[in-house]
Every structure is written in C-alpha cells, then in structure tokens.
Chain A
Amino acid sequence: MADTPVDREFTITRVFEAPRELVWKAWIEPEQVARWFGPRGFTTPRSTITMDVRPGGTFELTMIDDADHRNYPSGGTFLDVDEPERLVWRDRDIDLLVTITFVDLGGRTEMTCHVVGRTGGAQAYDGWSTMFEKLAASLD
C-alpha cells in the first residue's frame, strides 16, 4: 500500500526565556526530561527514562499518574537529531511523527512542535474529520 495520507496535524509554538543550548539540553538529558515531560499531575521518573539521542536511536519513558499511580509507557525512534536546531522522532505505539525545531532569538528560544498523525488502512481520505465531527456531535 502506498504511503497513507496525512489526516491530522498541529503545530505549537512557544518562546522560552532561555538560551537555545539550555532548551536543547532540557530535551535530550534524561535528568531534565524527568522534570517536565508529561501533563501536570504526572511524574516521569528518571529511572524509567532511556534515551539514545542519535538518528535511529530509541527512547523510552513511563509517565505515572500521581492520582492513581497508573503507568503510561511511551517511546519512539529518533529520525533526525540536528543539535541544537531540530529533533524528529516517530512514536513507537502510534503512527505519529513529531518535529521539534529550536530558533535562537538571542537569549530566548522559539520552539516549534509540529505533530503529524497518519492512520493505517486508508488510501483515499475524503473528509473523515468532518464526518467524525458530525457523528460525534450526533452522539453527544
């Protein structure tokens, strides 16, 4: 089957009050990733994080819900590691491609997170999202 169509994507842009090298390190050093990765109310223990930050290298981590201690293991494979400008990985569990870019604003850093989701099985995408919304609305 040919490459499946992109059916969902989004971009988040943030400016951090920190130099680019610092932001980059926050992404690739497990000690730091443990401090911020995951939603509020979750902990990603350092002991669960392994990262092989190079193209083709993999990463694994487990987010734990502070409320009920349920574990949410996650991981992926780095496709591109271009220090300190670009980090690209593919999620291990779902066909999700994440590209993080870092732009030096002189002491501040603009970070862009672009996520593309693909779903298997479909060759002809003809407006699922509209149908989903319509159907979901009809089910509320």
Chain B
Amino acid sequence: MAVDQLSTTFAALADPTRRAILERLADGEATVNELARPFPVTVQAVSKHLKVLEHAGLVTRGRAAQWRPARLRGLPLQDAAGWLARYREFFEASFDRLDDHLRALQAERDG
C-alpha cells in the first residue's frame, strides 16, 4: 500500500471546501470559475485548493489553456475508503492460518 499517498489523500480531504469541490466534481468536470461560484471564497482560493487536490492525485487538470477543467480522479479515494477494510481481510486470513497452525500443533502433541 502506498502509505505516503494515503496520508496525502487524507490531508487533502481534511478541508471542508476541498471535500465540497470533490463532491461537485463527482457530477462532472468543471473549471475553476465554475467551482468557485457556490463557495464563499475567491477564485484564487479555489485554485489553491485544486492544487492541493491535484498534488494528492484526487483531481486531474485538463491542458485546455486557461480553462483547465478539473476532473475527479477516483483511485486515491477508493484507497482511502478501503484501506482499513483491507487490513481487516489481512487479519481474518492470518487468523484462519493461525487456527490451522494451532490445530496442527495440538495434533502433534496429542499424536
């Protein structure tokens, strides 16, 4: 698991405006101006937030001149949602093997 990526993802998600931007992008790509409209912040501030989200790999920016529409990138989010679920699977699987191991040990002792 890319731990650093995960930390960056969570840090990016720590801000309510950035989460709102992501929710907006879940409906489709948008330019900075479009994104700024519903928020009580400046276009510059939204631009900064987008840079953080881009750095975290949560958003990609188009190359179309100054519009550079932002697009949601799902993979890091799915990682964030699933990382502890994967740990759970990991432990469940290990404990199945521990059970087998303990049974084998007991059988050796008794046999």
A residues sitting closer than 8 Å to B (CB atoms) are 8-10, 12, 14, 16-18, 22-23, 26, 32, 35-40, 93-94, 96, 111, 113, 115, 117, 119-124, 126, 128-129, 131-136, 138-139
Which of chain A's residues have a CB closer than 8 A to the CB of B72?
A: 135, 139
Which of chain A's residues have a CB closer than 8 A to the CB of B93?
A: 38-40
Residues of B in contact with A, size category: 35 or more
Binds A, one of B31-39, B41-49, B61-69, B97-105: B97-105
A136→B89 CA distance, assembly (Å): 19
Closest B residue to A11 by beta carbon equals B88
A107: shortest Cβ distance to chain B, in Å? 10
A40→B98 CA distance, assembly (Å): 11
Which of chain B's residues have a CB closer than 8 A to the CB of A129?
A: 81
Closest B residue to A98 by beta carbon equals B91
B93: shortest Cβ distance to chain A, in Å? 4
B residues sitting closer than 8 Å to A (CB atoms) are 1, 3, 6-7, 10-11, 13-14, 16, 19, 22-23, 26, 72, 74, 77-78, 80-84, 87-103, 105-106
A5→B25 CA distance, assembly (Å): 27
A14→B93 CA distance, assembly (Å): 12
Q: In the complex the two chains form, is A40's CB within 8 Å of B97's CB?
A: yes
Given A26-B101, A32-B101, A139–B6 Cβ distance below 8 Å? no
**Of A18, A131, A133, which contacts B105 at CB under 8 A?**
A18
Known A-B contacts: A10-B87, A10-B88, A26-B105. Give 18 more (CB < 8 A): A14-B98, A16-B99, A16-B102, A22-B105, A36-B97, A36-B101, A37-B94, A38-B94, A115-B87, A115-B91, A117-B87, A123-B14, A124-B14, A132-B80, A135-B81, A136-B77, A136-B81, A139-B26
Q: In the complex the two chains form, is B11's CB within 8 Å of A120's CB?
A: yes
Q: In the complex the two chains form, is A135's CB within 8 Å of B74's CB?
A: yes
Given A12-B92, A135-B22, A120–B102 Cβ distance below 8 Å? no
Which of chain B's residues have a CB closer than 8 A to the CB of A135?
A: 22-23, 26, 72, 74, 77, 81
Q: In the complex the two chains form, is B78's CB within 8 Å of A139's CB?
A: yes
